[in-house]
Chain A
Amino acid sequence: MLVGLLSARIADRLAGSRGNPSGVLALDDEQLVAALAGTGKRHEAQRFLADFDVERTRTAIDAAGVTAVCRHSAAFPTRLLQLADPPAVLFTRGNAVRGLRELARGPAVAIVGSRKASPHGIEMARELGRGLAAARITVVSGLALGVDASAHVGTLAGQGFPVAVLGGGPDVVYPQANAGLHRRIAAAGLLVSELPPGQRPFRWSFPARNRIMAGLCEATVVVEAAEGSGSLITTEFAEDLGRIVGAVPGPALWERAKGSNGLLRSGAAVVTRTEDVLDELYGIGVARPPDGAEASDEASAAEGRPGTGSAGAAVLAAIEAGGGVDAASEASGLPVAAVRATLARMEDSGRVARDGLGGYVRRSS
């Protein structure tokens, strides 16, 4: 509440310091007011404290369907306490009991990346989400557009438990385009925020949200990030905590993959499939997703399905390289008509997907 009231002041205060607000949020009420003294609003903050009624606030929080977990509660995720500035309170919406148990039970992985991701990034995020969910790993992301949303969608598709860390209050839908996803996660997973119910997100609250994502998770995987992307803030926090950082490699020339490729250069784990994340978490070859790669290989091995023959493999490889039907025909030696037919069968068996303008994209399963 207090944070909400003072947020404008906080933002002012932070304008010069490269948007890392964690120091401020770590302060308790007294210190916070003291830190912001002199900005002319001290008396307002004190009045707020004087008016503060615990019962009334609790009722309001309950009414919003929100569960608040205090930093000192036993249910508070322990990994989060390792942050230099853990949030004082986590406001959660959805299945709080199960969610907090899931977070305490085993490793969690954050999948983050660009809001303006390429079809490749979207597909990778979805596939990693699905694969990790199938391996019973909690997948955390930020419910932003692009990679975040796709990671949640993949988690839901894999029957997993999605955890979304929000930049606004846990009941505030932002961005509006994700309203449906917000609802689905509230029903099947957990929405988490350090801001109180009803609070609109601030500019600074997104980098602050990123530190919670990094803190909650054993590993953070960046799917696609340009240079200066907010995802890199998340990995900075993760590195500071000594957690695992991984990145999905993108084409060397893509501006939109510069940041994620930069992570790889500085030693992040290369992630091209779910197994890569599992290897990092448990050691190489220790854990395997229960269904996924093997299952689909098995399916395609049956009765000479497309994609197993050398021509089919060549078609798939050409599509994967971003080529069109012509390139696939060139590579496989099949006539273009046969390539179309092959691709249609591959679409049927889920090995390629279509975009809204007729293009083919390789599915990574």
Chain B
Amino acid sequence: MLASIATFALEGVDSREVTVEVDVRRGLPAFTVVGLPDASVREARERVRSALLNSGLDFPLQRITANLAPASVRKAGPSFDLALAVAVLVAGGQVPAEAVAGTAVCGELSLSGALRPVRGMLASALAARACGFARVIVPAPNAGEAALAEGLEVLAVPHMEALVELLHGRWTPVPVAAAPGAPGASSPGPDLSEVRGQRDAKRALEIAAAGGHNLLMVGPPGAGKTMLARRMPGILPPPDFDEALDITRVHSVAGLGDGELARERPFRSPHHTISPQGLVGGGTRPRPGEVTLAHRGVLFLDELGEFSRPALEALRQPLEEGRVDIVRGQRSVSFPARAALVAACNPCPCGATAAGCRCGELERARYQRRLSGPLLDRIDLVCQVMPPPAQDLVDSCPGTGEDSGSVRARVVAARQIQAVRLGGSAATCNGEMDTATARRHVHVGKGSRRRLIRSLEAGALSGRGHARVLRLARTIADLGGRDRVTAADLDEALGYRLVPPELAIA
């Protein structure tokens, strides 16, 4: 008898439908799986057999052929276990075929018959809903995540025995509500008020958050660069529901999620020894890299100068387009990668403070060139982080500055202004405006225009720097709630720009 069950398999951070067909025939007992299974899928045969037998069910001693369709796509991972087991049950007549109509099945089996969670359940549930399935049967630990796909009935099943009872209509699982964690709930993350002083860096952080600009912090070791960067997610607008789903989906695929809806934006700080593949994703079965894990959050690159050049070069596409395309043999996978870049580096190669520095002009110039080369195009703001005065460190009064909440309120207000202005264009914030959009939306006064022309003619401002300064000035005006970009806004923006090495003094 023939049975077919729908399940879902991950591809990148998306899931695609896979139909598991099982044919049970008379013949020498055998269990073959076809449809480009890899070793981990072929092992499912042993798990399915033991799980069925250990759950008091029959494993037909006949010739069993399973096909995973579409047969042209390579299959990997243990997520086909449950679908194979259900298909065997249906094909063997142990479960009525109509009980699984309109139902997708996804899960891994243990030898005891218990259902184990799989990665990327949210992606699979969203895909099941999109494919028109009404119900999805998932392992109990995955239920909360699957229920995030609203409008889909999620049946949380602990083990095979319960599953058979369910399919015979003799048992109903407890209905699953979406995992708690309303988006926008207050964040327990580190607060900006814990950072003493550093008002300049805080201002730069706020502007970067408000306009989606990439930021470079320059300062000697121990000045507080990492501390500041960690507070960036707390001042970015809280993720809305769709963004939260996006974040949760990516993290679930990478096996990092806790099954609940993400409440905060991710913060990723890969070590500088990371490979290009680790940073942007890759591998024979493409896995998301750090820039994808930081999707809708913050990617922090500490010691920017220590990252390998190929790794930094690989970052260009994701920072430019908000996604990573990985081509592997016959197929290509696309990962989302819309992250705010916060980078940090030492002011000179030796990393010492000014008094102890023994670097020459040439070494400094070379260091600055190496840093700015690959990523120069994408850095909108650069600020210096000086070590705080000793007094500030010793004083015990806590919370000297503003807390993250008040900064976030200003950032949200500025983002709303941008959303209205940029409605209908591809950009969602000032940092994403292309040159033409920036030209349309940023108007400066006559005096400021003369000022820009003078800087351009004197070579103090490059053509590319000009567009960046306009975008930045727009964000500064938005933060201040000003319709027009004033001369002071433009001046401040000019003060944050990164001077290309050929225009800078060493």
Contact = CB atoms under 8 A, between A and B. Distances in A.
Interface of A: 114-119, 122-123, 145-146, 150, 177, 251, 253-256, 322-327, 329, 335-345, 347-348, 353-359, 361
Given A253-B355, A355-B506, A145 B361 contact: yes
Contacts of A345: 491
A348 B459 CA distance: 11
Nearest to B491: A341
B357 A356 contact: no
A325 B361 contact: no
B361 A324 contact: no
Contact of A116 (B359, B369, B385, B488): B359
Contact of B361 (A117, A253, A326, A340): A117
Contacts of A338: 488, 492
A123 B505 contact: yes
Contact of A344 (B199, B347, B383, B495): B495
19 contacts: A116-B363, A119-B361, A119-B364, A123-B505, A145-B361, A337-B476, A340-B203, A340-B491, A341-B488, A347-B460, A348-B494, A354-B504, A355-B364, A356-B500, A356-B501, A357-B382, A358-B216, A358-B499, A359-B218
Interface residues of B, number: 50
Interface in B175-230: 197-201, 203, 216, 218
Contact of B498 (A117, A322, A358): A358
A340 B386 contact: no
Contact of A348 (B200, B362, B455, B506): B455
Nearest to A114: B360
Contacts of B385: 324
A329 B383 CA distance: 14
A256 B199 contact: no
B436 interface: no
Contact of A323 (B218, B361, B386): B386
Contacts, number: 134
A325 B451 CA distance: 22
B354 interface: yes
A355 B200 CA distance: 18
B365 interface: yes
Contact of B358 (A150, A255, A322, A337): A255
Contacts of A347: 460, 494-495
A114 B506 CA distance: 15
B496 interface: yes
B384 interface: yes
B142 interface: no
B355 A254 contact: yes
Nearest to B455: A348
B354 to A, nearest CB: 5
B454 interface: yes
B294 interface: no
B199 A336 contact: yes
B46 to A, nearest CB: 59
A325 B492 contact: no
B357 A118 contact: yes
A341 B357 CA distance: 29
Contacts of B501: 356
B372 interface: yes
B494 A358 contact: no
B371 interface: yes
B505 A358 contact: no
B345 interface: yes
Contacts of B500: 356
A324 B362 contact: no
Contacts of B499: 354-356, 358
Interface string B72-96: 0000000000000000000000000
B358 A326 contact: no
Contacts of B382: 357-358
A116 B365 CA distance: 11
Interface in B353-405: 354-365, 368-369, 371-372, 382-386
